[in-house]
Amino acid sequence: MTLRSALLTSAFPLTDPPAPSPTPSSLARLLKDNPQLAEQLATEATTSRPNSALWSCLALAVVVAAWFLLKHRARRGGRALRAYGRLDPWVQALRSWLAAAPVTFVYVATWTVTTVIFQGTPTTLAGVLNRFNSTNIMGIVTEPVRVLFTSAFIVADYGFFFLGYVAVFLLVITRLEQRIGSARVVLVGTGAHVLGSLLIVALESVLIRAERLSPATVVTQDVGVSYVMVGCAGAYLFLVGKSLRWWYAVGLFVAVVLPLLVLQTIWDLGHFLATVCGMGIFLLLRRWGLRPAMKWRKVAAELEPRPLPTWPTTI
């Protein structure tokens, strides 16, 4: 149900109360009592589905293996040595980039693992797990700490836009951490996720009591990597250079505000609120100063290729 229909029309309340979120202990009993559901899960397990997270991890592993192979061949000289001389400064710059934003890269690695698991899980079972770990009204009321924590490591829509998430974190949020430090980027991301989730739950509760929103919203799916992402992306708006600030603002508007104006779903409103919360928290924290901006190309240009290790031929 969209916000427009929720606010302008009256929704008839459901006669049956919404079912509580399932627990892992009840999953086996559920499958035993419902053989049709078990058969559906078995069918879905053999159905071909995209595994963007898994293939991305495999592609990264191939690139890393190719680099070490090139490094080994470079000891013999020739083209491999020349290629190593050109690429090694960029590899060193990438290592410096990783070291300057450790929290962001550990976080990306963590929800990459959960995305691989969810994309390899039958859709019905993944939906049960997703709902169980969502920051919906049922989860916030019964187990707020657990759902706020676990949902922050689950990508929405079973990782459908996985590569887009990775790009935003590696290109934008790493820069935010490099400028404000690891501790403050954790505060910005956590604050945007927690405050955005709580504000949405409060709004849903008000609309359900006013019979403007279906009671089924109590157990809707709502996970939080996107809340962390848009909160930190909104905070970075204040650090973008003047030449790119308007372009970045337009991109943020298209990604966060435009879906709210067009689709008007409760989840789009949650992204907007998380973005605003991230901006507000950043403005409170920036008074403790900022670090100088780090430019990958400049770092790579100042580095020289590292000497290759030599191994003794005899013992």
Q: What is the pLDDT of residues 279-312, one digit of tens each?
A: 999 999 998 888 888 776 677 677 777 787 665 5
**Residues 140 and 116 placed together within one structural domain of the fold:** yes
Could you tell me the two tokens for 236?
A: 């970075």
Q: Is the pLDDT of residue 78 over 90?
A: no
pLDDT exceeds 90 at position 145: yes
pLDDT in tens, 180-202: 999 999 999 999 999 999 999 99
The verdict on residue 10 lying in a domain is no
Q: Is the pLDDT of residue 134 over 70?
A: yes
Q: Do 96 and 175 lie in a common domain? A: no
Q: Helix, strand, or coil here: 21? A: coil
Report helix angle 79-100 to 52-74, nearest 10: 130
Domain co-membership, 90 together with 152: no
What gap in Å lies between CA 227 and CA 274, rounded to an integer? 6
Does residue 284 lie in a domain region? yes
**Encoding tokens for residue 34?**
């419902």
**Residue 112: how many CB atoms within 10 A of its CB?**
21
Residue 2 forms part of a structural domain: no
Residue 28 or 313, more confident: 28
Those residues whose C-beta lies under 8 Å from the C-beta of residue 55, and which sit 6 or more positions away, are none
The answer as to whether 23 is a domain residue is no
Cα Rg of the chain, angstroms: 24
Determine the pLDDT at residue 31: 60
Q: Which domain holds residue 199?
A: 102-289
- Residue 183 located in a structural domain: yes
Residues 160, 249 share a domain: yes
Query: What mean pLDDT is predicted for residues 220-240?
Result: 92
Same domain, yes or no: 87 and 203: no
Q: Is residue 168 part of a domain?
A: yes
Q: Is residue 17 part of a domain?
A: no
Q: Are residues 156 and 233 in the same domain?
A: yes
Pick 70 or 125 by higher pLDDT.
70
- What's the Cα-to-Cα distance from 240 to each of 179, 236, 269, 275, rounded to whole Å? 11, 7, 24, 16
Assess whether 237 and 259 both reside in one domain: yes
pLDDT in tens, 221-230: 888 799 999 9
Question: What is the DSSP track for 86-116?
Answer: HHHHHHHHHHHHHHH-HHHHHHHHHHHHHHH
Same domain, 129 and 229: yes
**Position 249, amino acid:** A
The domain that contains 108 carries what CATH number?
1.20.1540
Q: What is the mean pLDDT of residues 75-95?
A: 89
The domain tally of the chain equals 2
**Residue 310 within any structural domain of the chain:** no
Whether 78 and 133 map to the same domain: the answer is no
Reported as a single tens digit per residue, the pLDDT across 256-273 is 999 999 988 888 999 999
pLDDT reported for residue 216: 81
Q: Hey, what are 66's tokens?
A: 């190719």
pLDDT at 313 over 70: no
- Whether 231 and 185 map to the same domain: the answer is yes
Same domain, 77 and 176: no
State whether 199 and 137 are in the same domain.
Answer: yes
